[in-house]
Structure 1
Amino acid sequence: MEFADKGTLEEYAQVDSNRLRNIGFKQEMQRFAVHIARGMQYICETEKMIHGDLAARNVLLFSADGSGHTPFTAKLCDFGLSHKLTKGQKLGIYYYDIKQSKVKTGAPICWMPCETIENWNEKELMHTIKTDVWSFGVTLWEMFSGRDPHTQLNEKNLGNDELIMELNKIYKEGVRLPKLEHFPAKVYAVMEQCWKQDDTARPNFSRLIEMIENLEENDLK
């Protein structure tokens, strides 16, 4: 078993807010984003699964030789909410009904997409590949902000039911996690693509890999 000598991506992104404006740090985050997207491409598009809990806390960082020196590799972890997409195959719409499990208890609400929030109390709650794409956008926001999305979206410290109602309201109004002053515009544009109201308009992970890899140094300033 590998030892993640650099801990979680969440810890790494939050350790020093002064780094967030540094071009070298942004390039490192770009590289990690590609690693994550490639892992998600395999899970979602090859294996027809969802991760179900994609977040910076569930990405581990490894140095090449365990020395703690760069470059690091980002790898996905915590597959406790992962599921095979078994429904809708005849229609070509692969999904999993998360109400079959106990996911709703302690669910990562602030990483879940608008359609999950809107349909929270429906009989069936579909999770698809595009559910994980939304979560990927939130993870990008974590990486480039060094902040906790739950704190950002739940400033009123609401309980789960009240938070669901509040998020449903603001998502329908088009409100998303904010573009912070130091965010590269083209990186935030990728996040916005992940947060499209219409889930069919969101890119898949193959496309996200292309979008992120094509970002040049000037795009990260």
Structure 2
Amino acid sequence: MKKWLIYVLGIISGIVLTLAFAFCVNLSNNSGIIGLEIFEEPGENMGYSQFEVFQVLESGGALANADDTFDATVFIIPDERQQFYDNQKIVLKNDQCAQRVGTYRYNTKMGIEKTVPAVRIVESAELPLPDKTIASKSNSGKTLFDKPGDCVSRKNFEIQNVLESGDAIALEIRETISGYVFTSDLEVLILAQEGSNFYNNQIVKAPQGKCARQIGNYKYQNYGTTKVIPIIAFK
């Protein structure tokens, strides 16, 4: 009986140590910040020129609005010299840029989960990685066509929700007035792209000369109702 108990305790201890080690490795890769996912390679220059901090986290990082708009929120990862504070205004120098290096997932005070780009303020940025569609982590609810279908829109889209698979549900942008985005009722699923993970309120621009063609359907549950929306790709 005693040997059996020691054996079981040994197995449990091994599992606990393995999980603890994996957790520590994950925190190490993400600068010890829960919710932060760092890319294997740095991403693109976000193109922002200034930020206003609205919340400083215990990790030292800061949530900020970019370019005086509430629709563009980022998580700024500090370096050794940066100490953020509430309502701080950060204006980038001519030789600086906000380089996207990952994503940050958090819950707002209203309990809404958001995913925003994680950036570092650097002297220069790497070129963006190729815009190449990758296989989704989960095909649940998705039906892909053998070949592209009709063009559903030639307008831009705003990301509304980032799924666990990395894919994103988005709404067509009807118009933008004074920095405020107004969307239509056209809801679509955009498949994840390699090196450019989606984030909430991201504007996905339609490449010039191309349109959003339906390449499949996505079925999901929304407040107890089944919805079917087109899966699109710009072609």
TM range (shorter): under 0.3
Quick check: which has more Rg, 1 or 2? 2
TM-score calculated relative to the size of structure 2: 0.22
Taking CA–CA contacts closer than 8 Å with sequence separation of 6 or more, which of the two structures ends up with the larger relative contact order? 1
Determine which structure has the larger helix proportion and give its number. Answer: 1
Determine which structure has the larger strand proportion and give its number. Answer: 2
TM-score calculated relative to the size of structure 1: 0.23
